[in-house]
Chains A and B, each alone.
Chain A
């Protein structure tokens, strides 16, 4: 297992270099000189030249890129143009907020999505099934920023129950987390439903029913446990998406998370901040994907056995893997 994790982390390295190259060249070729933004309009040409020299901005593209990668590996993403603080410090101060928001949203999506999905599958074609399917379809079609604005109109302006922006009490988390969770909720619900429908028709479920098990045990123990794998996949990819989608939600609700940091950075041409932010999110996303694969392995004994020690098991399972 450890070897697998180590291998996956090694495989991340080229991907991360690729991500860095993409964001770096995008910022490199974007119009506008950093010196103009930092030194202001009054700066002379000599000042700008000196600034470029001091920051290594006069070097050719490849040299600058390599320098950036070498620094980034050591956790140095450069200095933010707007605050003159190290970029990594700004990112680390914003990231927990985004992470927390995404976690709440994901938790909500999984709990409600799985529950509705199971009910929907057990009562296929009933009123509740049709209703949740329509809601799920609307859920994936809702633009998140608009949903957020509508919820603000309803719950903050008309009803006055929840605050429209900021993050000072637990009440502030409800609207943004709910808005962020909608897409995942719908995706999770649909996946649970289809995966449960498949499991319910299996022979082992019929056997469980035949031996007189109660409906609840049949559904939760026999069907659901076998249907859970695809749900984990959907929930995992969805969580990674949340980190990106948070940019819009954070702007709507004026939350100082990493998404808003990047959007603000783009509007003020703060290249180091944008590069660092995107790279950071990409690393976080890859680590989350890795974590999901590990969870996957722990949940599914068939996959777990491939990574457990002992040569005999390994040989057997690798044969199985090639067949499937």
Chain B
């Protein structure tokens, strides 16, 4: 989803600059990076799991089957069953939907708010900048985990509240990244030219400045899907966030803590799912960064 958006706007960008083949070059650089392509393939597969979970598993993720409690992994139950006899494989697959939903929506929300704040602060400067950035300082002064915990606690346990909590926590990162790139783009000739043609502030910010700050935003967004999903599972693990019996990886690991002595599969597979998701988003994001901005390559 992110990549198509990025491609579209980047190609627009190239047309307006008058160069050619920049998009092609970026895609080419990306495809040469095997790790990044691997990450993208896994991300696409996870999206497929999130959209069509029923295609991969025959079991209901919530249906209890007390006769089949704590069944070890087998051909019938790939990942075994949990303390209520629910099939863990199907809970992991359906959990993908929960995590993707939380991760993608809250990244979208925080990205939009953060970009707007950062763009306004960087573009107008002065008092506006000062006010917005002090607000960002306040957000940065509270550790994200604690901020998330207390927001969910205040609003109550539900997926929308979890999404709000996680979005607020990561606004600051975008605002800072965007502000810095707006500051460096503001003085360029084409922005001056846009002024000269009488373009409005709104038009200058969204049409001329932001498209040129797109690379760091895309990279930050991709990477923060990984951190957001990890943070969400962390909050669920603490019992804040996704209410039972919705299949969610963090909550699954949390409820099986009592049984780790005897039944290792209860906690192992949800965690592996989180790790795989975060890992592939990180690989994907790393690859995007290298492809979009070879100078940043580490």
Q: Contacting A197 at CB < 8 Å: which of B238, B278, B283, B298?
A: B298
Question: B134, A146: Cβ atoms under 8 Å?
Answer: no
> Interface residue count for A (Cβ, 8 Å)?
50
A141 at interface (Cβ–Cβ under 8 A)?
A: yes
Cβ contacts under 8 Å, A14 to chain B: 134
A42-60: contact bitstring with B at CB < 8 Å (1 yes, 0 no)?
0000000000000000000
B262 to chain A: closest residue by CB: A157
CB interface residues, A 1-40, toward B, < 8 Å: 14-16, 18-19, 22-23, 26-27, 29-31
Cβ contacts under 8 Å, B143 to chain A: 240-241, 243-245, 281-282, 285
Cβ contacts under 8 Å, B20 to chain A: none
Q: Is the interface of B mostly helix, strand, loop or mixed?
A: helix
B57 at interface (Cβ–Cβ under 8 A)?
A: no
B20, chain A: closest CB distance, angstroms:
32
A103-111, A221-229, A260-268, A314-322: which lies at the interface? A260-268
A138 to B35, CA, bound (A): 13
B111 at interface (Cβ–Cβ under 8 A)?
A: no
B66 at interface (Cβ–Cβ under 8 A)?
A: no
Question: A141, B275: Cβ atoms under 8 Å?
Answer: yes
Cβ contacts under 8 Å, B134 to chain A: 14-15, 18
Question: A30, B275: Cβ atoms under 8 Å?
Answer: no
Cβ contacts under 8 Å, B237 to chain A: 143, 145, 248, 251
Question: A141, B278: Cβ atoms under 8 Å?
Answer: yes
Q: Contacting B253 at CB < 8 Å: which of A18, A23, A146, A274?
A: A146
Q: Contacting B150 at CB < 8 Å: which of A153, A241, A251, A278?
A: A278
Q: Contacting A285 at CB < 8 Å: which of B141, B153, B234, B275?
A: B141
A95 to B12, CA, bound (A): 53
A249-274: contact bitstring with B at CB < 8 Å (1 yes, 0 no)?
00100000001001100110000001
A286 to B143, CA, bound (A): 11
Question: B279, A26: Cβ atoms under 8 Å?
Answer: no
A153 to B269, CA, bound (A): 14
A144, chain B: closest CB distance, angstroms:
7
Q: Contacting A29 at CB < 8 Å: which of B135, B154, B260?
A: B154
A142 to B134, CA, bound (A): 32
Question: B279, A137: Cβ atoms under 8 Å?
Answer: yes
A128 at interface (Cβ–Cβ under 8 A)?
A: no
Cβ contacts under 8 Å, A144 to chain B: 234
B152 to chain A: closest residue by CB: A266
A173, chain B: closest CB distance, angstroms:
21
B146 at interface (Cβ–Cβ under 8 A)?
A: yes
Question: B238, A15: Cβ atoms under 8 Å?
Answer: no
B60 at interface (Cβ–Cβ under 8 A)?
A: no
A12, chain B: closest CB distance, angstroms:
8
Q: Known contacts A141-B282, A143-B233, A149-B267: does B150 contact A266 (CB below 8 Å)? A: yes
Q: Contacting A248 at CB < 8 Å: which of B138, B145, B155, B279?
A: B145
Question: A251, B238: Cβ atoms under 8 Å?
Answer: yes
CB interface residues, B 152-168, toward A, < 8 Å: 153-156
A146-173: contact bitstring with B at CB < 8 Å (1 yes, 0 no)?
1101101100010000000000000000
A194 at interface (Cβ–Cβ under 8 A)?
A: yes
A7, chain B: closest CB distance, angstroms:
15
A142 to chain B: closest residue by CB: B275
A14 to B261, CA, bound (A): 49
A245 to B214, CA, bound (A): 30
A149 to chain B: closest residue by CB: B267
A274 to B151, CA, bound (A): 12
Q: Contacting A145 at CB < 8 Å: which of B142, B150, B250?
A: B250
Question: B283, A137: Cβ atoms under 8 Å?
Answer: yes
Question: B135, A18: Cβ atoms under 8 Å?
Answer: yes
B259-287: contact bitstring with A at CB < 8 Å (1 yes, 0 no)?
01100100110110011001100110010
Cβ contacts under 8 Å, A153 to chain B: 260, 264, 267
A311, chain B: closest CB distance, angstroms:
28
Cβ contacts under 8 Å, B275 to chain A: 138, 141-143, 146
Question: B141, A244: Cβ atoms under 8 Å?
Answer: no
A140 to B286, CA, bound (A): 12
A27 to B282, CA, bound (A): 35
B257 at interface (Cβ–Cβ under 8 A)?
A: yes
Q: Contacting B238 at CB < 8 Å: which of A26, A193, A247?
A: A247
A267 to B157, CA, bound (A): 12
B297 to chain A: closest residue by CB: A194
A61 to B4, CA, bound (A): 47
B216 at interface (Cβ–Cβ under 8 A)?
A: no
A14 to chain B: closest residue by CB: B134
Q: Known contacts A23-B150, A144-B234: does B279 contact A278 (CB below 8 Å)? A: no
B70-83: contact bitstring with A at CB < 8 Å (1 yes, 0 no)?
00000000000000
Given A143-B274, A190-B298, A197-B298, output 10 extra A-B contacts at Cβ < 8 Å: A18-B138, A23-B142, A27-B150, A27-B154, A143-B250, A143-B271, A149-B267, A244-B146, A247-B238, A248-B145
Give the top 8 A-B pairs by smallest Cβ distance, nearest first: A244-B143, A146-B271, A18-B138, A194-B298, A141-B278, A30-B154, A141-B279, A26-B154
Interchain Cβ contacts under 8 Å between A and B, 19 examples: A26-B151, A26-B154, A137-B286, A141-B226, A143-B250, A143-B278, A145-B250, A149-B267, A150-B268, A197-B298, A244-B144, A247-B146, A248-B237, A259-B146, A262-B146, A274-B153, A278-B142, A281-B143, A285-B143
Spell out A's residues near B (CB within 8 Å): 14-16, 18-19, 22-23, 26-27, 29-31, 137-138, 140-147, 149-150, 152-153, 157, 190, 193-194, 197, 240-241, 243-245, 247-248, 251, 259, 262-263, 266-267, 274, 278, 281-282, 285-286
